[in-house]
């Protein structure tokens, strides 16, 4: 099970060396619940990532405002860790809050912006864009 985003941020702050943060990122990826095989489909695939990435969005409409829940997976260990960080950051937010959330700021705080390769950074932005688009679509329909 993924730790809350505040715990992830604290753990990143505690780890001084990028190598340690790199290993922690992979550990977070291993904590993602398995994505069912049927969810590894074109509708869930995130375009713009060099690695294969799938994000599945579920909408909980039981409250006054729809909340988003995410599941995801990747075929690359580091990228799967990035998926885990984004899920920890966005999961459970209202659609309108998720649409406004500053995931790029989070990546800067964690030091991921400066330590991920250009290709992985582009992939992370593609994931953020996908989540934001899903959130905006749900918020507009609410």
Annotated catalytic residues are 49
Residue with tokens 């998926």: 83
Q: Is the dihedral of CA 117, 111, 99, 60 positive or negative?
A: positive
Long-range contacts of 111-114 (CB under 8 A, 24+ apart): 111/12, 111/18, 111/21, 112/25, 112/82, 112/85
How many CB atoms lie under 10 A from the CB of residue 74?
24
What is the token pair recorded at 11? 């753990």
């Amino acid at each position: 099970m993924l730790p809350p985003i505040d715990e992830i941020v604290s753990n990143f702050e505690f780890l001084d060396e990028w190598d340690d943060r790199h290993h922690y990122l992979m550990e977070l990826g291993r904590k993602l619940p398995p994505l069912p095989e049927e969810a590894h489909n074109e509708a869930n695939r995130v375009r713009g990532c060099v690695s294969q990435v799938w994000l599945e969005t579920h909408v909980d409409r039981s409250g006054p405002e729809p909340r988003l829940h995410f599941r995801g997976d990747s075929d690359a260990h580091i990228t799967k860790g990035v998926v885990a960080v984004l899920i920890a950051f966005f999961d459970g937010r209202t659609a309108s809050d998720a649409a406004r959330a500053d995931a790029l700021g989070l990546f800067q705080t964690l030091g991921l912006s400066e330590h991920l390769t250009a290709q992985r950074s582009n992939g992370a932005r593609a994931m953020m864009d996908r989540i934001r688009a899903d959130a905006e679509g749900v918020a507009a329909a609410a």
